[in-house]
Amino acid sequence: MSWTFTNDRAIYLQLMEYIERDIVSGTMAPGARMPSVRELASIAGISPNTVQRAMYEMERTGLLLSRGTEGKYITDDRARIDTMRQDLARQKVADFYQDMQHLGFTLDEVETLLAELAAGKNRE
């Protein structure tokens, strides 16, 4: 849960993506309680207001649920989480492939670059 932020996009959007990623990858378990707004703000080094903003948006998508003053919880719906994981992956693949096509790379070249990268990573 080490989050870093860039200044080219709104922090609350980046935070949403980090949390979504942690939920769909299982780093944060379904049904688990989220750290408090203040605690998350402290961890991330940002204002509680910004965390609240991100949380508010994520409740609208149903990924988080607020139980009054007890705290916020990750949804229990594993099917929904897995669907979201698939959707995120497909979107990412589509965006990536389209970008590479715009750069003039064929599917074969993309696959080669990917394989090279993975091979390089494994060597370290």
Partner DNA sequence: ATTAGTGTACCAATGATTTAATACAATAAT
Partner DNA sequence: ATTATTGTATTAAATCATTGGTACACTAAT
Rule CB under 7 A: which residues touch DNA? 9-13, 34, 36-39, 46-50, 52-53, 55-56, 66, 68-72
Residue pair 114/93 in contact by the 8 Å Cβ criterion: no
CA 56 – CA 69 distance, rounded (Å): 15
Contacting a copy of itself (CB under 8 A), which of 2, 102, 123, 124? 102
Nearest approach, Cβ of 66 to DNA (angstroms)? Answer: 4
Residue 13 interacts with a copy of itself (CB under 8 A)?
Answer: yes
Could you give the C-alpha distances from 4 to 7, 44, 45, 62, in angstroms and in order? 10, 8, 9, 25
φ/ψ of residue 48, rounded to 5: -55, -30
Residues that bind a copy of itself (CB under 8 A): 8-10, 13, 21, 24-26, 85, 88-90, 92-94, 96-97, 99-100, 102-105, 107, 110-111, 113-115, 117-118
